A and B are shown apart, each in its own frame.
Chain A
Amino acid sequence: MKDELDMMFSKNEKDIERISGKYAAAGRKEKEKIYKISMKKYEQLKAQEESDDGFTVEASGVERYRRPMLYRGISAVAATMVLVSGLAGGLLLAKNSRIPKLNINDSVNTGQSTVVNEIAEDNRNSDVDTLVDNFGHIMRELYIADDGYESGVGVTFYKDAVDPETGEMYKKDLVYYNVTDEKLNDPEKLQKFMDATFAPKLNAYYLGGDLSGHEDGEDFADDGMASRYLRPFIVYNGVVLADHIDDDMSYNYKYHEVYDFSNYKLVSSVFDDNTESFEDELGLENMFMQYDESDMQSVVCSRVYQREDGILISADFLLRKDGENWKIADYSIMYSTEKKQTEAEIVENTQPTTASEIEDNDDYGELQLHSENIFPNAEEAEAFNAKINAEMSSGAFKFRKVNTEKYAQQIWNAEGYDELNTLENKSYIYHILLNSYRYFDTADVIYTTKVEHSEGTAESSVHCMADTRNKRYYLESEFSDVDDYYDHVKLYSYDGIWINADETKKTYFEDGYSEPDYDLNYIPDNYIYTGYYGVDGNIYYNSYGNIVFAGKCQDCLFNTSESDMFDFENWYIDGTADILGRQCVAVKIEREGYSCHKYIDLRNGIIMQSTEVDENDPHTRTMTVKSIKIDMPFEYPYFDPTGYTKYSD
């Protein structure tokens, strides 16, 4: 019987789950003791990490990029570089002696190289573009890492390694996962891609051997040859695998931070034929002696890229001509910790609107300059909209307020039509109208409307309270025209319900009501409207509507002006005015048979006054805000059903 009871112990995953799910693994005291051990170790690890980072920044002024294990061998090159920022409003990249100082103002086509002529340089730039794209692709996450730990699609090997920081030996585990990337997922494609990208030594550095003859879990111990074939890419049973690091999420994150060249702006590209200082710090010379590159023509291409957030990436590539083609023989990548400080110098030949972004700091979103998306047919427009929908659903679009103060002042202080009607100013007004409700938390407003037509005049007074963060809205109106349905109705919307309360009949209607989360339904301004040419040659538009409070109070708080203003040809900025102490911009919308003059609060897009003249359906309509309180606390008037009878419809 003893044997059967001994069978109780098992390392099987299923058995571990069952046992640990049912029974305590330790007593309370032991559990608490281990918790204290965990926290102590955690604090130590954290302090160690902070100490590492602090030292790097303090010592060099450069935020060290912690490369994934995959590229640790390369890091020695980068570690010798220094990036200095903030000199007299400019930025100088000063590296060690191997690369001359590079002025950030150098542009792609006016590189300061004295060695090569411009035509040759252009050709080489084109070659480097391709190589850098390939290089960036290789640096991507090439396997599905989300549940890689459990997926079982990979192998693990072990080898002895020396910790570069402590000098101590440790057992390094090399985990490889199946490459899912379509360009590199079979041995032949991988070889071809690497051959086209890397010179022989670097190629050998990245491409390991076919390890099918070794068991999963094999320990190569101190086998010196292990360093030769346990490279970032290996082949195992006919499948390509890529080295994996523990913190795979940071891996992907760092890719976007440092290696996503195809999505960065190329700021400068300079060639230098003097490559002597690009030392062999990888040790490739010793490791891959059989590949002699000494006779190959060489050049260093030093590039500066700029990420969308303004961060500068410095990328130096040692290139060697292998046959007829240039290939990457070594590289060094760094990025600056400084943001946007030097954008003026970098983009001196670009649109003036971009220059103003220099004043934006990182707390603000970037204003999207208006452009129309018009597609040649409905199918392409639909495909584009589907993409936008998917991106919106995935949370790709994050709303951030633009610098309202900057643009408000810019418009308020502008003189003359031209200075007012820049693309940037109009884009700002369009933006603030589209996103008005994102720019105030609460509003308590009273406004009047007046409609004059051939049969008479109708007037109303409206009181609207809005709490956009908590989605609580209230509206009550008084109409001179007693037949108006809403004359005697109060509207409430809060806590996911909608209530119409009829003050005359003392009845109320209640129903569920919800709107998408404002943070989730955000779409950048230029994607709100997309147009396409119909078979009749006319342009048709699709749009995303941001419905707030079911479209109520749209005269003032939740306006729908954008449908008139999408086409920038339809309107212009007419001037500015102070209304009830708020700085407003006046815009004039004009199209056939219709004109509208609106005064819009410069800081939140609320319509303070408007006059519409419609000749197609002859009438004039005016709206005037009588009082307004923005972002001031108010007591929301929750509906009290006492004395009312509920009805169903």
Chain B
Amino acid sequence: MTDKELQQMLKAKPERGQRAFYDKYFNYVYTIVYSRLKGCASVEDIDECVGDVFAQCFLFFDKQKEISGNIKAFTASVARRKAVDTYRRVARHTLRNIAIEDDDEFISDEDIVTSSEQSELRQLLYDKVEQLGEPDSTIIIQKYYYGRSSNEIAKIVDMTSDNVRTRCSRAIKRLREMLYEVGFARQGEIR
């Protein structure tokens, strides 16, 4: 479904439109929120924040006579703002010793120093993960990007947690080999 079709559906059939919008942008919103809140907010906080994002978007769509413009950019903006709100709320209650400077650092996109070289390496890494094929690539991404446990990953890929552990272990080994072949990792680091 294109954004234009989605925009039309949101006005013509709001309930179906909302669901379609949710399905289309869930991964995107969740990932933005997660990337902002990783390490400082609980899973429940992240879920609530994602809920806040969609609720805000739905309300915004309701108010518009017609929905136009860059819906993806708008959604990303709401997600980033809500993540900041959640961070501040969480920080206020649990991280009182975090200074404003930390906060500023938090809202920056450059919280890991990303040189162009690192960015290229990351793209290479993603390429190689994709080459692992499913379900291994999903397992690796869930483990290393979203930080999920084997139990949590098992629910996503419909496998037992033992199977996830086994596949994950093998996938990491294969990934190391693939990365070594393209000079990503030094030989001594391969274990």
Question: Which A residues form the contact surface with B (CB < 8 A)?
Answer: 1, 4-27, 29-31, 33-35, 37-42, 44-46, 49, 146-147, 149-150, 171, 173, 215, 217-219, 221, 246-247, 249-250, 253
Contact = CB atoms under 8 A, between A and B. Distances in A.
A216 to B, nearest CB: 10
Contact of A24 (B69, B74, B138): B138
A10 B114 contact: yes
A5 B172 CA distance: 9
Among B121, B156, B190, B191, the most chain A Cβ lie within 10 Å of the Cβ of B156
Nearest to A169: B92
A10 B112 contact: yes
A393 B74 CA distance: 26
Contacts of A219: 100, 103-104
Contact of A171 (B60, B88, B130): B88
Given A8-B145, A42-B55, A147-B73, A17 B28 contact: yes
Interface in B76-118: 76-77, 81, 84-85, 88, 100, 103-104, 107-109, 111-112, 114, 118
Nearest to B72: A150
Interface string B148-165: 000010011000000000
Contacts of A5: 125, 144, 172, 175
A38 B50 contact: yes
A343 to B, nearest CB: 25
Complex A-B, nearest 7 residue pairs according to Cβ-Cβ distance, in ascending order: A37-B51, A150-B73, A41-B55, A38-B54, A25-B30, A149-B77, A42-B55
Interface string B9-42: 0000000001100100011101110111010000
Task: Identify whether the interface residues of A are mostly helix, strand, loop, or mixed.
Answer: helix
Contacts of A6: 144
A46 B63 CA distance: 10
A219 to B, nearest CB: 5
Contact of B51 (A22, A34, A149): A34
A31 B111 contact: no
B7 interface: no
Given A149-B74, A150-B70, 15 more contacts: A1-B176, A1-B190, A4-B121, A5-B125, A8-B129, A10-B35, A11-B111, A20-B32, A22-B141, A25-B27, A27-B155, A31-B26, A37-B47, A146-B69, A219-B104
Contacts of B111: 11
A10 B31 CA distance: 10
A14 B126 CA distance: 12
A30 B47 contact: yes
A217 B104 contact: yes
Contacts of B30: 20, 25-26, 34
A171 B85 CA distance: 8
A150 B114 contact: no
A250 B64 CA distance: 7
Interface in B166-191: 172, 175-176, 179, 184-185, 189-191
B70 A20 contact: no
B70 A38 contact: no
A458 to B, nearest CB: 51
Contacts of A12: 109, 114, 119, 122
Given A10-B35, A11-B112, A37-B48, A42 B58 contact: yes
B3 interface: no
Contact of B34 (A22, A25, A146): A25
25 contacts: A1-B176, A1-B189, A4-B184, A7-B122, A8-B125, A9-B145, A11-B35, A16-B35, A20-B30, A20-B32, A23-B145, A25-B31, A31-B26, A33-B47, A34-B30, A34-B51, A37-B47, A37-B51, A45-B56, A150-B70, A173-B81, A173-B84, A246-B60, A249-B65, A253-B65
A204 B44 CA distance: 45
B8 interface: no
Residue among B35, B77, B108, B185 with most chain A CB within 10 A: B35
A171 B137 CA distance: 40
A250 B147 CA distance: 40
Contacts of B176: 1
B137 A23 contact: yes
B130 A22 contact: yes
A4 B185 contact: yes
A648 to B, nearest CB: 38
A284 B26 CA distance: 45
B170 to A, nearest CB: 15
B22 A11 contact: no
Nearest to A11: B35
A450 B2 CA distance: 56
Given A38-B50, A150-B76, A46 B191 contact: no
B98 to A, nearest CB: 12
Contact of A25 (B26, B126, B179, B184): B26
A631 to B, nearest CB: 26
Contacts of A171: 84-85, 88
A147 B3 CA distance: 14
A5 B122 CA distance: 9
B30 to A, nearest CB: 4
B68 interface: yes
Contact of B27 (A8, A23, A35, A41): A23
Contacts of B125: 4-5, 7-8
A11 B185 contact: no
Contacts of A249: 63-65
